[in-house]
RNA sequence: CGAGGUGUAGCGCAGUUUGGUAGCGCGCUUGGUUCGGGACCAAGAGGUCGUGGGUUCAAGUCCCGUCACCUCGACCA
């Protein structure tokens, strides 16, 4: 089969990955550009992925004791300035409302870039007694950050996310929460998105503005670059002091709480696309795929074919499978290509020959393997295949992740490594100068600090190494 | 913010060098034949050429400005 038979709609994934990405997100109907620079419209097919992500994550947040709430979009500008590092980090990219109801506002309002400040303000009211903590909230919301360069899902001026915010009585509990939620993210990424991730602490340079410590999960994309897929911050008492989040302890004294925040965004959809996509387009893991199985009637106008397709589809839906029938007038070949580009995990072909034989043809998106299945037991067969596809995608991503991590002893090796599309582990002395120098010479940044690993010397300055750091070029 | 590129029908593009009737492919509409890897025939609809100004008898085409988007880099969650 000729290669261009499949890919004439989108740029070559190996030749021009950025173009491939834009082609795919637009042509599969995930997203469209909004009328304002840097904004995106998340179209139904893309939003359905987000809804599936939300469903999975929300259940995990609730299982770990968090409750959903909603805090206001508009935040008094003065709130931003109460935490010194926070305002320094976010001031350059906030959107500010200065006029309301036709009149200039006495105090400008920030459109939230994140909600630590406004939630801190509320927590200071709600936290009174030592009996109150922990406060465990999550909100699903939009945030605005005035980005200079944008790409759909990866970096947009406005995006959707969840942000968890918690307040605890002790440092230990807050730290435990921070790590627990990082673990929740990691488990979700692997089991739902089929994306294995690297987790670990961020360097001072890379941490969240206002945090004591930031922990991140990093995912490897098709081109070997890294995407920060989620973060969990230990905020210490930075925000509790700035917003006076105190409680009266058993000993009769007021104590500042220890807070955390953690978030993942619609960027995860970008991660999904760039981690699993191939020459034909999207490859979506069944757990989050909007359509898990697409039924394609062959010779649909022949007596009984369309009816049989609809009834097969209804049977799958009844079994809890997200299935649809493509009853459009396009030719079967056109539909095969279209639904492959859209990343549907399983295609089911049903034609007159199949109906007569009481079977259907199943084609996997991940391996393109064709099998036949008896119509009587098709729901079970499909369920099993979807589970196999989910597992296979994770296995493939794991294999790539393991294969593409190398170790470097010199900056030259580090450079060669990232240029070859690898993540590179290297010793680091812990100083900012070396981190900056490495970034400058290799265009790679410190993604996370690797745990339980040892290196003798810093890859940059040759002094004694404090940590092993995972370096990569990043989105 | 720096460098490069692109704006012409819903989408993708040609036409701009050398100013002179607005084109092509896909898609769309109607009817018919098809259907197991992007089917075919016939007849149609659809464009103030991103935008503002200038030059000219005449501007998609030349000149100046401006806006938007894309890529790479810088900056940044």
pLDDT higher than 50, residue A50: yes
Q: Is residue A372 part of a domain?
A: yes
How large is the C-alpha radius of gyration of chain A? Answer: 25
**A339: which nucleotide lies closest, measuring CA to C1'?**
B38
Residue range A129-138, pLDDT digits in tens = 999 999 999 9
Q: What's the CATH number where A328 sits?
A: 3.40.50.800
Q: How far is the CA of A338 from the C1' of B38 (A)?
A: 8
What is the number of structural domains in chain A? 3
In this prediction, what percent of chain A has a pLDDT beyond 70? 98
Q: Is there a single domain that holds both residue A350 and residue A409?
A: no
Angle between helix A411-419 and A432-442 (nearest 10):
50
Residues 121-180 of A with CB under 7 A from strand B: 145, 147-152, 155
A256 CB-to-strand B distance under 7 Å: no
Cα(A26)–Cα(A9) distance, integer angstroms: 11
Q: Is there a single domain that holds both residue A235 and residue A101?
A: yes
Per-residue confidence (pLDDT) for residue A385, from 0 to 100? 98
A116 CB-to-strand B distance under 7 Å: no
Q: Is beta strand A323-325 parallel, antiparallel or unpaired with respect to A293-297? A: parallel
Q: What's the CATH number where A423 sits?
A: 3.30.110.30
Q: Is there a single domain that holds both residue A136 and residue A253?
A: yes
Whether the Cβ atoms of residue A113 and residue A88 lie closer than 8 Å to each other: no
Give the number of other Cβ atoms within 10 Å of residue A129's Cβ: 10
- Reduced to 3 states (helix: H, G, I; strand: E, B; else coil), residue A356 is helix
A337 CB-to-strand B distance under 7 Å: yes
Cβ-Cβ contacts under 8 Å for A204 (sequence gap 6 or more) = A432
Q: Is there a single domain that holds both residue A435 and residue A358?
A: no
A38 CB-to-strand B distance under 7 Å: yes
Distance in angstroms between the alpha carbons of the first and the last residue of chain A: 34
**pTM over the 0.90 mark:** yes
Q: Is beta strand A246-248 parallel, antiparallel or unpaired with respect to A293-297? A: unpaired
A181 CB-to-strand B distance under 7 Å: no
Q: Is residue A439 part of a domain?
A: yes
Residues 427-466 of A with CB under 7 A from strand B: 439, 443
Give the pLDDT band (50/70/90) at residue A6: very low
A301 CB-to-strand B distance under 7 Å: yes
A18 CB-to-strand B distance under 7 Å: yes
Average of per-residue pLDDT across A88-110: 88
Q: Is residue A436 part of a domain?
A: yes
Domain boundary among A276, A301, A323: A276
A371 CB-to-strand B distance under 7 Å: no
Q: Is residue A287 part of a domain?
A: no
**A208: which nucleotide lies closest, measuring CA to C1'?**
B77
Q: How far is the CA of A25 from the C1' of B25 (A)?
A: 23
**A302: which nucleotide lies closest, measuring CA to C1'?**
B35
Cα(A449)–Cα(A123) distance, integer angstroms: 32
pLDDT higher than 80, residue A9: no
Average of per-residue pLDDT across A403-426: 93
Per-residue confidence (pLDDT) for residue A8, from 0 to 100? 54
Residue range A238-247, pLDDT digits in tens = 999 999 999 9
Average of per-residue pLDDT across A331-359: 95
Cα(A340)–Cα(A333) distance, integer angstroms: 11
Reference A126, options A304, A246, A298; nearest CA is A246
Whether the Cβ atoms of residue A128 and residue A236 lie closer than 8 Å to each other: no
A450 lies in which domain range? Answer: 405-472
Render A305-355 in DSSP notation, one character per residue: HHHHHHHHHHHHHHTT--EEE--SSS-HHHHHHHHHHTT-SEEEEE-HHHH
Q: How far is the CA of A466 from the C1' of B6 (A)?
A: 49
Q: Is residue A157 part of a domain?
A: yes
Per-residue confidence (pLDDT) for residue A294, from 0 to 100? 97
Assign 3-state DSSP to chain A and report helix, strand, coil percentages, each to 5. 35, 30, 35
Q: Is there a single domain that holds both residue A149 and residue A297?
A: no
Reference A355, options A395, A405, A297, A420; nearest CA is A297
Q: Is there a single domain that holds both residue A247 and residue A312?
A: no
Average of per-residue pLDDT across A409-423: 92
Q: Is residue A399 part of a domain?
A: no
Q: Is there a single domain that holds both residue A359 and residue A214?
A: no
A334 CB-to-strand B distance under 7 Å: yes
Q: How far is the CA of A150 from the C1' of B19 (A)?
A: 39
Cα(A189)–Cα(A184) distance, integer angstroms: 9
Cβ-Cβ contacts under 8 Å for A104 (sequence gap 6 or more) = A98
Average pLDDT, chain A: 93
Q: Is there a single domain that holds both residue A128 and residue A192?
A: yes
| A253: Cα within 13 Å, side-chain hemisphere | 3
Protein residue closest via CA to C1' of B68: A37
Q: How far is the CA of A35 from the C1' of B49 (A)?
A: 21
Q: Is there a single domain that holds both residue A370 and residue A417?
A: no
Per-residue confidence (pLDDT) for residue A400, from 0 to 100? 94
Q: Is there a single domain that holds both residue A324 and residue A454?
A: no
Per-residue confidence (pLDDT) for residue A271, from 0 to 100? 95
Q: Is residue A438 part of a domain?
A: yes
Q: Is there a single domain that holds both residue A162 and residue A307?
A: no
Average of per-residue pLDDT across A235-258: 97
Give the pLDDT band (50/70/90) at residue A469: very high
**A233: which nucleotide lies closest, measuring CA to C1'?**
B77
Q: How far is the CA of A332 from the C1' of B22 (A)?
A: 36
A21 CB-to-strand B distance under 7 Å: yes
Protein residue closest via CA to C1' of B67: A37
Whether the Cβ atoms of residue A394 and residue A189 lie closer than 8 Å to each other: no
Q: Is there a single domain that holds both residue A92 and residue A154?
A: yes
Reference A203, options A438, A401, A406; nearest CA is A438
**A337: which nucleotide lies closest, measuring CA to C1'?**
B38
Q: Is residue A305 part of a domain?
A: yes
A226 CB-to-strand B distance under 7 Å: no
Give the pLDDT band (50/70/90) at residue A259: very high
Q: What's the CATH number where A164 sits?
A: 3.30.930.10
Domain boundary among A352, A385, A418: A385
Domain boundary among A332, A357, A385: A385
Which strands, in side-by-side order, build the sheet including A346-350?
A323-325, A293-297, A346-350, A359-364, A370-374
Positions in chain B where some atom is under 7 Å from a protein CB: 1, 34-39, 68-77
- List the alpha helices (DSSP H) in A378-455: 378-403, 411-419, 432-442
Per-residue confidence (pLDDT) for residue A1, from 0 to 100? 30
Higher per-residue confidence, A5 vs A128:
A128
Cα(A71)–Cα(A85) distance, integer angstroms: 22
């Amino acid at each position: 089969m000729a290669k261009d038979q499949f890919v004439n709609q989108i740029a070559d994934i190996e030749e021009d990955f950025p173009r491939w990405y834009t082609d795919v997100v637009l042509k599969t109907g995930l997203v469209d550009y909004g009328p304002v620079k840097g904004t995106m419209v998340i179209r139904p097919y893309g939003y359905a992925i987000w809804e599936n992500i939300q469903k999975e994550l929300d259940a995990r947040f609730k299982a770990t004791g968090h409750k959903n709430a909603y805090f206001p979009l508009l935040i008094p500008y003065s709130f931003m300035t109460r935490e010194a590092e926070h305002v320094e980090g976010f001031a350059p990219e906030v959107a500010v409302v200065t006029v309301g109801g036709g009149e200039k506002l006495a105090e400008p309002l920030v459109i939230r870039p994140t909600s630590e400040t406004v939630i801190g303000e509320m927590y200071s009211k709600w936290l009174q007694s030592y009996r109150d903590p922990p406060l465990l909230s999550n909100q699903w919301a939009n945030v605005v950050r005035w980005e200079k360069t944008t790409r759909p899902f990866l970096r947009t001026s406005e995006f959707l996310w969840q942000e968890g915010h918690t307040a605890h009585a002790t440092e230990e509990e807050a730290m435990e929460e921070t790590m627990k939620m990082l673990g929740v993210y990691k488990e979700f990424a692997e089991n739902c998105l089929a994306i294995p991730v690297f987790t670990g602490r961020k360097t001072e340079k890379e941490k969240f503005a206002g945090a004591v410590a930031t922990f991140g999960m990093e995912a490897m994309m098709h081109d070997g670059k890294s995407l920060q897929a989620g973060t969990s911050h230990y905020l210490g008492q930075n925000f509790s002091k700035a917003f006076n989040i105190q409680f009266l302890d058993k000993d009769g004294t007021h104590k500042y709480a220890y807070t955390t925040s953690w978030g993942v965004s619609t960027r995860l959809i970008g991660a999904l696309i760039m981690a699993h996509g191939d020459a034909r387009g999207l490859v979506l893991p069944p757990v989050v795929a909007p359509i898990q199985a697409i039924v394609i009637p062959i010779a649909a106008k022949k007596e009984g074919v369309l009816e049989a397709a609809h009834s097969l589809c209804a049977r799958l839906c009844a079994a809890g499978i997200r299935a649809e029938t493509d009853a459009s007038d396009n030719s079967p070949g056109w539909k095969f290509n279209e639904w492959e580009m859209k990343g549907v995990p399983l295609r089911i072909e049903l034609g007159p020959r199949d109906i007569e034989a009481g079977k259907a043809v199943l084609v996997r998106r991940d391996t393109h393997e064709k099998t036949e299945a008896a119509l009587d037991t098709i729901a079970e067969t499909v369920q099993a295949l979807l589970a196999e596809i989910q597992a296979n995608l994770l296995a493939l991503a794991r294999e790539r992740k393991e294969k593409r991590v190398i170790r470097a002893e010199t900056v030259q090796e580090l450079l060669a490594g990232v240029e070859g599309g690898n993540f590179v582990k290297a010793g680091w002395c812990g100083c900012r100068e070396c981190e900056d120098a490495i970034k400058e010479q290799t265009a790679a940044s410190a993604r996370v600090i690797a745990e339980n690993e040892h290196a003798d010397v810093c890859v940059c300055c040759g002094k004694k190494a404090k940590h092993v750091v995972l370096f990569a070029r990043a989105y």
